[in-house]
Every structure is written in C-alpha cells, then in structure tokens.
Amino acid sequence: MTSAPDYKIAFTTFQNVVNNELVKTTETRRTICPSTEEPLWESPVTTQEDVDHAVSISKAAFPAWRKLSQDERAEYLVKFADAIEANTQEFIDLLGKEAGKPPQGGGFEMGLVMNLARETAKLRLKEEKPEDSDDRTAIVRYVPLGVGVGIVPWNFPMALGVGKLFPALLAGNTFIWKPSPYSPYSALKLAEVGAKVLPPGVFQALSGEDNLGPMLTAHPDVAKVSFTGSTETGKRVMAACATTLKRVTLELGGNDAAIVCDDVDIPNVAAKIAFLAFVHSGQICMNIKRIYVHEKIYDQFLDALVAVVKQFKTGDYTDAEAFFGPIQNSMQFDKLQDLYAQIDKQGWKTALGGALEKREGKGYFVTPTIIDNPPEESRIVVEEPFGPIVPVLKWSDDDDVINRANASKMGLGASVWATDVAHGRQIAEQLEAGSIWVNTHFEVAPHVPFGGHKHSGIGMDWGDVGLQGWCNPQAYWVKHSKL
Ligand code: NAD
C-alpha cells in the first residue's frame, strides 16, 4: 500500500521558485500587514538577470510539456489541486496577514481557488471542423503559445492568478506568475506547492518591486501576458507588449451598475446588494459600485440597505465574525481618504458613515459609507472607489437608467433586479458589459468566460474562451486527392 503524498509546506520563508527550486535573491523586501501596519516576512527582489534565467528555464520546459496530451496535463493539475488543498488553512491564515482578509474573506478566496483549480482541470480544448468533404478536411485547432506570464493584483492574490495559471498549463504553456509587490507571499507558496507535483520549469513565480512587471512585458521570449489590474496599468502593459507582438489579455477595473426595479422584494434584494457592494470592503473589480433604485421604492430600499450594512462587523484576520477587513495597502487607503474628503467638499449626503479617520498604527480600516443620490457626474459615481463607499441613485425611466448605466467608460459587469424577470432581461440585454446578470451579480464559474468590455478589458479568462486565449488558433488542411 502506498502512503498519501506529503504535500505540506512550511509557511515561514518566502523565495522565488525557479526550475522547482527555492532561489534566494541578493536583495529582499518586506510588505506591510494591513491590519497591524507591521512589516511581514522578507520576500525576493527579482533582477533582470533573474528574469532572463527564469524565462530561459520556462522556454526550455515548454516542448516537453506541450507534447503531453491534455489528459496527461490535467492529471498533473488534479494532483496540484490536491496539493494546494492540503495547505488550505495555512493559505487562509496567510491571506489574512498579507491581504487583510478576515477568515470569512480568506475562506471565500480559497473556495474560489479550489473551484477554479478543480473545474479548469476538467475543461478541454476542442477542435472544430468547418469542412470535412471528399476533397479535403479543414480543422481549426488550438496550439499553445510558449512562455506565459500572469501579472496579478493584490485584492485576490491567489484566485486571480490561479484563474490564469491552470488554463495556461492545461493548454500546454509554461507559466511565470508575478504577484503584486503589496501581496507577494501566497503566490510564492503556491509555486512551492506546485514544485512538489509539476515538472521543473512548468510553473515558476518571481516577486519583486515595481520594475519587475515591465521586465516581463518587454522580454522577447515571453509569448503572452495575462494581466489583471487597473485600467491605467493595463494600457501600459498593452503598449509594452506591442513591441514584441505578445498576446495579451487584460482584466481591468470596473464600475458595475445594479438597476433595481420597483417590483422587487425590498428586504431580500437590499440584503443581497449590500453583500455584493461591500464584500471585501469594496476591493473587488466586480463589486456593485453604483446602485440605481427606482424612485417608487427609493426611500424604503435605502433604509433597508443601510440597516443591513450596519450589521456587518469590522475586524482583522483574527476575527471570525468580521465581514469588513482593512484596506489592503497605504496607497489605496490614501486614495480613499481623498475620496472621503469630497463628501464635505462636494456636499454629498450620507445615508451611512462618512468620516474617515486614520488610527495611528492600527491598520487601514475604513468606515463603510453610503452616499444618498449624488449628482450623476460626481466622482463617487464616475470613478471606481475600490473601497467600502457606494452611491445610491434614483431612476424612473427604463431608457434613462440604461443610458446612465452605460455612460461609464468601464464595462465589466452590470445587473438588473426585478420580480418581472422578462422586464429585467429586457433591460439587462441593453447593458454594455462583459457580464450581465438578472437577479444576481458577481456570479462566476470556471467553465464560463469572464472579462470586460470598453475600458474594463480585452479578451476573457476562464471557460473555453479563456482556454483558447492561451493558444494560437491554427488552420489545419488535409487534401484527400491522390498526389
Ligand atoms: P495595478 O494596475 O496597480 O497593479 C496590478 C499588477 O500590475 C501588479 O502586479 C503590479 O505590480 C503590476 N504592474 C504595475 N505596473 C506595471 C507595468 N508597468 N507593467 C507590468 N506590470 C505592472 O492594480 P492593483 O492596484 O494591484 O489592483 C486594483 C485594480 O485591479 C482595480 O482597478 C480593480 O478593478 C482591478 N481588478 C480587475 C479585475 C478583473 O478581473 N477585471 C480583478 C481584480 C482587480
């Protein structure tokens, strides 16, 4: 009888993972715990030389990895998922410290990670046959690109990377993961877990300073960059990738509208929308960021929303009851402080919260805030706050609210809430966004593509579309006539 493999790793030191080995860098850096503002562990500072070396290893690992069948690669991915799962509690604890997630939030992210890992391993690239006649057969098949790079933000430091890594590997690419300098730790540990099951060089992780992303987007031997982050950085990534004609997928910011019709069950829908607007303290691309409520139910709905959000508890990574954790980093906290300062300056009316005072050395905690019917052109409506501050706005005419929802440059997601589902669908189908939802929001699945329209992105991750995004389509002709 063989004993179960030992997939446990220690969560005490954090190093780059190159060629399945832990590699020390000459310099190191530490990030700040968002709950305590104390420095966390040392982490690598990757140099250009380190990047060149890791890319050459990834490139060398590609031919053997692409030669495996999809089923063989999927077998590796299933083992990898088992190995991640064996370290679940350690990852939740780590997300608490590096990302500011209370246990509920860390558990939520780990749930996403495991679902993405397990379900992606079940997907397969399929060939298409646009012609299969006596004369000839034409096949469209999808062939891997080579070395893929995933550039990941700090808000979901594990799940957003796993949603790139697993499809990239399944499609036959090798992969280098670059975490955000604000949250480097969990990616390095995932790669360390990966080194227990994957062939060397197939998955590597490199962490460093702000200059690391540009080193990777400029590298001539990187074939594709899949980026998740802000729209501004996304534009820079695309420009850098143009020089070497890299393939790019961009998952960028959002300013999702929710349109609430006058026939909804108010307490039920207010509770759902409260969760979807405020979960992870508003630091999710797909949080509801503008709540349009029909004027007939506006006052009642606003009261119900406020009552629900008031019940959400704030706490740090030790607090199992906490819904709101801190903002993940000082840069984002400073941006929010500037936005909160506009409440008085612009005379916005608050239905909840308002003031934002920084407690010295006690973490980046922010007051949950609801703004009552601000002007449509105000910053709180037009910008993506990425924090727990949300505007509620009045509407009365379908066409008008559709225009207002579509007026944003962003187009990540949008939802309509209606008891009359046919009416809800009629509105939803006119919304300009990569995901549209009726009576839900933030509904995602590994077998369904996810991405943004307009300034919210280019291309999609996940599902068949996401898997194909890690490939070049190839037209493959076979002539049947004798030579
Ligand atoms: P960011 O754009 O500042 O950074 C994202 C990543 O890009 C980090 O790893 C960073 O180090 C790297 N980077 C920075 N400059 C770079 C450059 N010039 N070249 C290459 N890489 C570079 O974003 P952030 O603040 O970490 O994340 C918050 C933003 O991400 C929000 O706008 C949010 O809406 C968006 N987001 C989008 C999605 C989505 O799926 N659409 C998901 C989560 C977050």
In the chain, the domains with their CATH numbers are 16-252+456-476 (3.40.605.10), 256-445 (3.40.309.10)
Closest CA to 358 of 385, 383, 386, 326: 326
Report pLDDT for 69. Answer: 98
Report pLDDT for 153. Answer: 98
- Regarding the beta carbon of 192 and ligand 1, being less than 6 Å apart is answered no
Among 98, 109, 192, 251, the active-site one is 251
CA of 224 to the centre of ligand 1 (A): 16
**Would you call 208 helix, strand, or coil by DSSP?**
coil
Sign for the CA dihedral angle at 3, 5, 11, 14 comes to positive
What is the per-residue burial (b if ≥16 Cβ within 10 Å, else e) of 434-467?
bbbbbbebbebebeebbbbbbbbbbbbbbbbebb
Which of 213-217's residues contact partners 24+ apart within 8 Å by CB, and which partners?
A: 213/151, 213/178, 213/237, 214/240, 215/46, 215/48, 215/51, 216/51, 216/55, 216/149, 216/151, 216/176, 216/178, 217/149, 217/151, 217/241, 217/246
Task: Give the closest residue (by CA) to ligand 1 atom 9.
Answer: 180
Q: CA-to-CA distance for 210 and 159, rounded, in angstroms? A: 21
Q: How many other CB atoms are found less than 10 A from the CB of residue 171?
A: 24
CA of 460 to the centre of ligand 1 (A): 16
**Structure-token pair, residue 76:** 């590796």
- Regarding the beta carbon of 454 and ligand 1, being less than 6 Å apart is answered no
- Regarding the beta carbon of 285 and ligand 1, being less than 6 Å apart is answered yes
**How buried is 267 (Cβ within 10 angstroms: 0-12 exposed, 13-18 middle, 19+ buried)?**
middle
Report pLDDT for 33. Answer: 97
- Regarding the beta carbon of 434 and ligand 1, being less than 6 Å apart is answered no
**How buried is 79 (Cβ within 10 angstroms: 0-12 exposed, 13-18 middle, 19+ buried)?**
middle
- Regarding the beta carbon of 155 and ligand 1, being less than 6 Å apart is answered yes
Report pLDDT for 2. Answer: 65
* 266-278 and 298-311 helices, crossing angle to 10°: 50
Strands (DSSP E) found in 192-241: 203-205, 224-228
Report pLDDT for 356. Answer: 80
CA of 229 to the centre of ligand 1 (A): 2
Q: How many other CB atoms are found less than 10 A from the CB of residue 339?
A: 18
**Structure-token pair, residue 145:** 């690109």
Report pLDDT for 1. Answer: 57
- Regarding the beta carbon of 207 and ligand 1, being less than 6 Å apart is answered no
Q: CA-to-CA distance for 261 and 271, rounded, in angstroms? A: 15
Per-residue pLDDT of the chain (483 residues; tens, 9 = 90+): 567 789 999 999 999 999 999 999 999 999 999 999 999 999 999 999 999 999 999 999 999 999 999 999 999 999 999 999 999 999 999 999 999 999 999 999 999 999 999 999 999 999 999 999 999 999 999 999 999 999 999 999 999 999 999 999 999 999 999 999 999 999 999 999 999 999 999 999 999 999 999 999 999 999 999 999 999 999 999 999 999 999 999 999 999 999 999 999 999 999 999 999 999 999 999 999 999 999 999 999 999 999 999 999 999 999 999 999 999 999 999 999 999 999 999 999 999 999 887 776 689 999 999 999 999 999 999 999 999 999 999 999 999 999 999 999 999 999 999 999 999 999 999 999 999 999 999 999 999 999 999 999 999 999 999 999 999 999 999 999 888
Question: Do residues 61 and 201 touch, judged by C-beta distance below 8 A?
Answer: yes
Report pLDDT for 482. Answer: 83
Whole-angstrom CA distances from 382 to 70, 207, 231, 257, 385 are 44, 33, 14, 11, 9
Q: CA-to-CA distance for 229 and 104, rounded, in angstroms? A: 23
To the nearest 10°, report the CA torsion of 369, 372, 376, 380.
-10
Task: Give the closest residue (by CA) to ligand 1 atom 39.
Answer: 251
Which atom of ligand 1 lies at the shortest distance from residue 216's CA?
20
**Structure-token pair, residue 42:** 């040392």
- Start-end of H helices in 279-378: 298-311, 330-346
**Structure-token pair, residue 431:** 């919304």
Q: Quick check: is 72 catalytic? A: no
360 DSSP assignment = T
Question: Do residues 138 and 476 touch, judged by C-beta distance below 8 A?
Answer: yes
Q: Read off the amino acid at residue 253.
A: G
Q: CA-to-CA distance for 281 and 279, rounded, in angstroms? A: 5
Sign for the CA dihedral angle at 261, 262, 268, 270 comes to positive
**Structure-token pair, residue 381:** 């409506």
Q: Which helix (H) or strand (E) holds 140?
A: strand 136-144
CA of 248 to the centre of ligand 1 (A): 14
- Regarding the beta carbon of 172 and ligand 1, being less than 6 Å apart is answered no
**Would you call 310 helix, strand, or coil by DSSP?**
helix
CA of 401 to the centre of ligand 1 (A): 30
